[in-house]
Structure 1
Amino acid sequence: MSQKELGYSADKDKTTITRIIDSLEQRNAIKRHKHPSDRRSFRIYLTQEGRELIQELQPIPDKVNKSACIGLSENEVLSFKQTLQTLQNQIIDETDRFKLSSTE
């Protein structure tokens, strides 16, 4: 994935994603390689250390999410997730429209 795509997927600005990538690279969790067709861009690759870090850390948000949803039915959780996804998509669309209108 390119650094730009990663920032977009993570909903982080360019500066923030660069800092995160720098930190992960120092921990040998990722490797950054120049994009083969775009010299200004980098491709980000997960290393074995990065895979192990994910395996180690993933249970934490899973446990927090499970605890936060105590008392909600499976349908309520699903509906909430769908609502959040809809809101996120609308925010992205509005942000994209704003960027387009500000460059015209």
Structure 2
Amino acid sequence: MTQEQFSKYSFLLDRTARKVKQYAQQKFNLGEFDITVDQWLVLKNLAENELLSQTELAQLVFKDHPTLTRIIDILSKKGYVERIPHPQDRRSFQLHLTTEGVEKVESLKPQVASIREKAWENLDSKDFEEFKRILNTIYNNLG
């Protein structure tokens, strides 16, 4: 592959990722979800994992610590997330969803699924499998 081809494909990947996030955020705003896409990713990952340290969560959602701290602060103020002192490390916390946070995740799951389905609308299962294979290859190449 030439450098020019590589640049075009990289541009397409970046453009598509930005468009997906913009579309999702627009739908979040129109649906009055009361959270952002980034906040949703935090809530979803906490719902899927019982207790996480901030470092573990940062790795799962691909956010740096200052950004994740701001997101957690907002979600804590909204009553969706709690910080619990870490049993082995007094300097850190474990994060978990409150009852309200669990309810928020459950109420938004169908709507978020609908938003995701829009991106896959004209793709068949073969397209999806090939796309998944390619994305996993790119991810593994970097890891």
Shorter-chain TM band:
0.7 to 0.9
Rate the CA distance shift 1:26–1:85 in 2: closer, same or farther, 3 A.
Answer: farther
Q: Which residue of 2 aligns with 1:14?
A: 65
For the pair 1:82 / 2:125, whether they are aligned, the reply is: no
| Structure 1 residue 17, shift from structure 2 partner | 0.6
TM-score (norm: length of structure 2): 0.58
Residues 24-43 of structure 1: pairs in structure 2 closer than 5 A: 24-43=75-94
Deviates more, 1:55-64 or 1:13-22: 55-64
TM-score (norm: length of structure 1): 0.77
Q: Which residue of 2 aligns with 1:48?
A: 99
In the alignment of these two chains, the number of paired residues is: 92
Query: Which structure 2 residue ranges, 5 or more long, are not aligned?
Result: 1-51
Query: Which structure 1 residue ranges, 5 or more long, are not aligned?
Result: 94-104
Deviates more, 1:68-77 or 1:55-64: 55-64
Counterpart Cα distance in 1 of 2:124 and 2:67? 36
Of the three residues 117, 121, 133, the one matched with 1:66 is 117
AA aligned opposite 1:13 = D
Rate the CA distance shift 1:89–1:49 in 2: closer, same or farther, 3 A.
Answer: farther
Please give the secondary structure, in 2, of the residue aligned with 1:58: helix
**Per-residue deviation, residues 33-91 of structure 1 (Å, max 9, x unmatched):** 11111122110011110011111222233112211112211121122133223333444
What is the percent sequence identity of the aligned residues? 38
